[in-house]
Amino acid sequence: MGNNQQIPVLQTVNLCKNYTFGSQMIPVLDNINVSVCKGEFPAIMGQSGAGKSTLLNILGCLDIPTSGEYYLNQVKTSSMKELKLAEVRGREIGFIFQNFNLLPKLTVSGNVELPLIYANVSASERKRRVEEELNRLGLWNRRKHKPNEISGGQKQRVAIARALVKKPSIILADEPTGNLDSHTSMEILDILTKINEEGNTIVMITHEKDVAERAGKIIHLVDGRVV
């Protein structure tokens, strides 16, 4: 990757997140210091309740920390207002979810195209990019199918195409194999590895050791702390 490997795409500094229930304050993330450079593929691993989802929400600009800083492409996002966060999220981050989050009434093509419509990309450029990603992921012959007409593995490939089509700075994969059988899980992990080898930065959240081991490094999260 050359020198650009030294540039953190994502960095947290003493990041904390607390939730308040009535008069009680519950600390969920405690002093998280994580740095991910361009082209890296770490897995954030932890059991249920370790704080993985909360951390993912902050990294994905869906939430802000209680204290500490979060830098995305060296821009401080921790104090951004909701509208600005949404703009950064739309431009910089591709999401892959455990339950695919595909819109049932749209075709495969329509689902992949959606982020580009939100980003005001021209129709001809949308068409070109959708075709490129569907071909890359072996889905071109499924482009007119609806989500209920394709398999779980194909749904996750559609979700990956949708994440990639914006050319984001970072891809956040939240338990990307959680709803798949072991054979299909390996196929999806192979695809993620290949996408990373092509230069894409991926952060994967998982509680499964064998899934985490496919990443370039593992960040262990226990009770809201990196260990």
pLDDT given for residue 5 in this prediction: 53
Residue ranges making up the domain that contains 76: 2-226
Cα dihedral sign, 82-70-216-177: negative
Q: Hey, how many other C-beta atoms are within 10 angstroms of the C-beta on 159? A: 26
Query: Each residue of 119-176: pLDDT tens digit?
Result: 889 999 999 999 999 999 999 999 999 999 999 999 999 999 999 999 999 999 999 9
Q: For the domain that residue 79 is a member of, what is the CATH number?
A: 3.40.50.300
Query: Each residue of 170-191: pLDDT tens digit?
Result: 999 999 999 899 999 999 999 9
Contacts for 77 with CB less than 8 Å, ≥ 6 apart: 61, 64, 70, 71, 85, 88
pLDDT given for residue 1 in this prediction: 42
Task: Give mean pLDDT, residues 2-18.
Answer: 82
pTM: predicted TM-score of the whole model, two decimal places: 0.90
Q: Taking 60 as the threshold, does the pLDDT of residue 103 lie above it? A: yes
Q: How far apart are CA 69 and CA 58, in angstroms?
A: 10
Q: What's the domain count of the chain?
A: 1
Task: Give mean pLDDT, residues 16-20.
Answer: 94
